[in-house]
Chain A
């Protein structure tokens, strides 16, 4: 039996191969497909989720290591029906092209703003360099983070 807390809900999984990366538990077992598979090696960041608030590559994290931790996925970024300021900024700046990497980008950015509410460009470079965007939307991601930082009182 594996116990996970995902987006505030306690979940129990039976008969799970505990070596399964958290990514595939989220996608295949829990149907939370917002977290994306891109490389399987932690290179691209498409699978980024929060574990106790920190951005983690779920494709290389065995689910067993996440047992008992607080996991937040893109599906849990909006709270009480209100979009996170970053999600709002992403829409306002029309950030996505194909959109595939953006869940991971948003989770990395949300972790950044939670730590550093008014990040500099250098802070953004450091926090976001693990997330590839094959379409090249970096300029808009940067603008959207700055814009959300200007608005968010409690970007958590």
Chain B
């Protein structure tokens, strides 16, 4: 293990990040907090630091209520004028949570959505429980908590109305922010009742009756995002939009080879440049996810720092830096393909015997590359250090963890740090890690003024926590009837310490077709790596779905069978794969989405030469998804993806517009990635620097995406991730059917395919 690998192996945040992004659902934690607790904690947390400088909507809720607003609980305030303020506790990163969460509260409250205003909540674990955006876990994790927040307040409003009228609670009904006594026709609005209701005791959660699905008025509707008007008019919302009085600007330069240190730099020269106020070295704490060594340039404007940076000359000490070479890693992985894996992860049935008894065996070697997250808002963060306390405005997917990371990086106690959640210009897992938050914290403690750190796009691509590449040497056995009898996958991944796989490169969780095939063996080999990796949208599944679902199609072809019929046979009879875990794969739900996608796409219909449908299924993050891609390929390998049909089952839909949008976006993300995206390293340096070398999909090549949901009665689960994994194999299976050419290496551009 070299220095770079050692550093990553002992990083305290990497494992935690993976837990955050993990789609495996624990039982939802009912984290209900009474109003009394809320008031007590809010009083403690205020500290006077947050008032007075919040010039924009980027600020979190400030604690100081508008006149007359009455608190019902940590999520909800109602004003006598009838306006309802709902706090969204989790980061909004484009997944639509700032609209979906308040919808859940408003549904149980029986609020008129037009009365609702939404603000981002403060960061407070005691009050809110988990506050993070990762793993498609927000909806399942907060479902009960939010319903209870709404239902509690509704019960208090009804009680206040009943007391006013001297009638029984059971005689009162609620709808559209009004309580009605049906017998007498008397009505009182929530605004009129707010003062009396808020003074009542908070009812016990056990006494609440939550709505059944058939009573939903708001959930399942199409609701436009709560920030949309501000977005389309260019109002300040995002981390990068933070503006503070007397604010300075900074950039931070790290070694292009991951983990290098500053030996010397021409800092005197930099300090003398126009608009530059200071330039200094930060040693950091040598934790990759917190504060790595580098140079800060602080100036009067973003441009002053960027321009000065062009004159910076640094002598880097790369003795502790990554030396990774992608070319070399591919060579090593290919050499391992024929070897048995060094560890056996799973060995069901008798694989050896099943292969001996096979009528036919099939083998293939698949690979996919490293990826960057490339959120469109480059990393940035703003901080202000005053009187031993630090105030931060952060576009972070894990704001609670950010507090811990900052405390560790700059030795300021957590109690002295206040963090405001801003809207986030895309995350995809990148902002689960708070390195940029720690960097601005370190800079802020030096400059004594508010300061905004701005990474360039090149910084963002050079210092990502990449989706790790992966290699799969696959073998399968078929019997005389063309049935799958054995499956073997030698997974070649990476390691920092020789013990555990790198984050995002581990074979945990639900992996197709585990549990579906009697004889199944998965082995693993690991290559040493010094490049930081992490969680990328649908960790693990984003890579695995391509080899596993493509190989499944190869087997159907080898057996001379229809892919749909073959896949349904593998999935088998309806059952939970893990008894008692409704976050696990259910084969009935799987078969239903596979059938629905095929039916809606017109599976089996005749198509012209060079055009075909491709099918794939994947289960991840508790979501069952099947996709059918309709693809044409011409003789120059030019692809046209005419349409992608998506069928998913994530239980009841919260916001239909947001839900469809997540699926449409996941398809575009998947196609973008499949076609031409890869990160390569040489001598420890990421070779791609900006969008000209990392060609995201553009408007002319975006397919029509047709989304269908099966709204089963299971508790709702998240949608940020599970629609992504099936896309790559669906398109590649279509390419095979159209052309006879099997794709086993991504991105497609390596073999000359293009759009």
Q: Which residues of A are at the interface with B, using a C-beta cutoff of 8 A?
A: 17, 19-21, 24, 27-29, 31-41, 43-44, 46, 73-75, 77-78, 83, 86-87, 90-92, 94-103, 106, 124-126, 128-142
Contact A136 B303, beta carbon cutoff 8 Å: no
**Does chain A have a CB within 8 A of B668?**
yes
Give B59 Cβ to nearest chain A Cβ, in Å.
14
Are B275's CB and A17's CB within 8 A?
A: yes
A17: chain B residues within 8 A (beta carbon):
274-275, 303-304, 307
Query: B690's contact among A21, A41, A78, A124, by CB below 8 Å, is which?
Result: A41
| A-B CB proximity, top 7 nearest | A34-B234, A136-B668, A98-B94, A100-B425, A74-B234, A138-B702, A43-B691
Q: Which of B234, B249, B662, B672 contacts A75 (CB 8 A)?
A: B234
Q: Is B192 an interface residue (CB 8 A)?
A: no
What are 8 A-B contacts with C-beta separation under 8 Å? A34-B233, A35-B234, A94-B224, A97-B96, A100-B426, A128-B699, A138-B702, A139-B702
In angstroms, Cα B232 to Cα A78, docked, is 9
Query: Which residues of the partner chain B approach A133 to less than 8 Å between Cβ atoms?
Result: 376, 668
CB closest residue in chain B, given A73: B234
Q: Are B234 and A24 in contact (CB under 8 A)?
A: no
Complex CA distance for A24 and B307, rounded to whole angstroms? 12
**A32 and B234: CB pair below 8 A?**
yes
Given contacts A75-B234, A99-B227, A129-B700, A20 and B457 within 8 Å (CB-CB): no
B-chain residues with CB within 8 Å of residue A41 when the two chains form the complex: 457, 690-692
Write the nearest CB–CB distance from B520 to chain A, whole angstroms: 34
Question: B228 touching A94 by the CB < 8 A rule?
Answer: yes
Query: Any chain A CB within 8 A of the CB of B485?
Result: no
A136 near B666: Cβ-Cβ < 8 Å: yes
Smallest CB gap from B706: residue in A: A139
Q: Is B301 an interface residue (CB 8 A)?
A: yes
Q: Bound state CA distance, A74 and B479, in angstroms?
A: 63
User: A100 with B377: in contact, given A37-B454, A91-B224 (CB under 8 Å)?
Assistant: yes
Q: By the criterion CB–CB under 8 Å, are A136 and B377 in contact?
A: no
Is the beta-carbon distance between B241 and A33 smaller than 8 angstroms?
yes
- Chain B residues positioned under 8 Å from A21 (CB to CB): 303
> Of the candidates A36, A124, A125, A131, which one forms a contact with B425 in the assembled complex, judged by CB atoms under 8 Å apart?
A36
Task: Take A17-B307, A29-B301 as given contacts and tell me if A98 and B696 are in contact as well, using a CB distance cutoff of 8 Å.
Answer: no
With the chains together, A138 CA to B667 CA distance in Å? 11
- Residues 171-208 of B contacting A (Cβ, < 8 Å): none
Across the interface, which residues of B come within 8 angstroms of A28, CB to CB? Answer: 249, 301-303
Query: Are B696 and A90 in touch, CB under 8 angstroms?
Result: no
Would you give the shortest CB distance from A89 to chain B, in whole angstroms?
A: 9
Q: Which residue of A lies closest to B224 (CB)?
A: A94
Q: Which residues of A contact B458 (CB under 8 A)?
A: 40
Cα(A24)–Cα(B236), bound, Å? 15
Please give me the residue from chain B that is nearest to A136 by CB atom.
B668
A32 / chain B contacts, CB cutoff of 8 Å: 234
Any A CB within 8 A of the CB of B423 = yes
A34 to B405, CA, bound (A): 30
Q: What are the residues of chain B within 8 A of A103 when measuring CB–CB?
A: 231-232, 234
Inside 8 A of A130's CB, which chain B residues have their CB? Answer: 698
Question: Does B151 sit within 8 A of A, measured CB to CB?
Answer: no
Docked complex Cα distance between A97 and B98 (Å): 11
B interface residue count range (under 10 / 10 to 19 / 20 to 34 / 35 or more): 35 or more
Is B243 in contact with A135, judged by CB distance below 8 angstroms?
A: no
Chain A hits for B29, CB < 8 A: none
Give the complex CA separation of A87 and B457 in angstroms.
28
Answer whether A19 and B698 are a contact pair too, CB < 8 Å, given A75-B234, A97-B94: no
Q: Is the CB of B240 within 8 A of A102?
A: no
User: Are B376 and A138 in contact (CB-based, < 8 A)?
Assistant: no
Residue ID in chain A nearest B99 by CB atoms? A94
Given known contacts A17-B303, A100-B426, is B228 in contact with A91 (CB within 8 Å)?
Answer: yes
Give the distance to chain B from A82, nearest Cβ to Cβ, in Å: 11
In the complex, which residues 216-245 of chain B have their Cβ closer than 8 Å to any Cβ of chain A? Answer: 222-225, 227-229, 231-238, 240-241, 243
Distance in angstroms between the alpha carbons of A132 and B427 in the assembled complex = 15
Report B-chain residues with C-beta under 8 Å of the C-beta of A126: 700
CB distance from A132 to the nearest CB of B (A): 5
Q: How far is the CA of A139 from the CA of B704 in the complex (A)?
A: 7
Besides A24-B301, A40-B457, A138-B698, 6 more A-B contacts (Cβ < 8 Å) are A41-B691, A44-B691, A92-B224, A96-B228, A103-B232, A130-B698
Contact at A136–B227, with CB atoms within 8 Å?
A: no
**Taking the complex as formed, is B93 at the interface, i.e. its CB lies under 8 A from any CB of chain A?**
yes
| Chain A residues within an 8 Å CB radius of B224 | 91-92, 94
Contact with A along B648-665 (1 / 0, CB 8 A): 000000000110011011
Taking CB atoms, residues of chain A closer than 8 Å to B238 are: 36, 99-100
User: Which residue of B94, B222, B691 is within 8 Å of A39 (Cβ)?
Assistant: B691
**Is the CB–CB distance between B302 and A43 below 8 Å?**
no
Whether, in the assembled complex, B466 has its beta carbon less than 8 Å from a beta carbon of chain A, the answer is no
Query: In the complex, A77→B231 CA distance in Å?
Result: 12
For A87, what are the chain B residues with a Cβ–Cβ distance below 8 Å? 229, 232-233
CA distance A34 to B301 in the complex (A): 17
Decide if B498 is an interface residue (CB 8 Å cutoff). Answer: no
* Cα–Cα distance between A24 and B303 once the two chains are bound (Å): 7
B424 within 8 A of A: yes
Closest chain B CB from A14 CB (angstroms): 13
Closest to B667 in A: A136
Complex CA gap A33/B320 in Å reads 39
Q: Which residues of A contact B318 (CB under 8 A)?
A: none
Residues of A within 8 A of B457 (CB): 38-41
Q: C-beta contact mask, B403-440 vs A, less than 8 Å → 1, else 0?
A: 00000000000000000000111111000000000000
B290 at the interface (CB under 8 A from A): no
- Give the most central of B237, B665, B672: most A CB within 10 Å: B665
A46 touches B699 (CB 8 A): no
Q: Which residues between 678 and 727 of chain B lie within 8 Å of chain A, taking CB atoms?
A: 690-692, 696-700, 702, 704-705
Tell me, yes or no, whether B374 is within 8 Å of chain A by CB.
Answer: yes
- Contact between chains at B240 and A33 (CB < 8 Å): yes
B63 at interface by CB-CB < 8 Å: no
Give the one of B229, B233, B301 with max A CB within 10 A.
Answer: B233
Q: With A17-B274, A102-B231, A134-B696 given, is the CB distance from A97 to B661 under 8 Å?
A: yes
Q: Is the CB of A94 within 8 A of B692?
A: no
The CA-CA distance from A131 to B231 in the complex, in Å, is 16
Rounded to whole angstroms, the CA-CA distance of A94 and B303 in the bound complex is 34
A65 to B229, CA, bound (A): 32
CB distance from B305 to the nearest CB of A (A): 10
In this complex, what residue of A is CB-closest to B95?
Answer: A97
Picked from A27, A128, A134, A142, the residue with its CB within 8 Å of the CB of B376 is A134
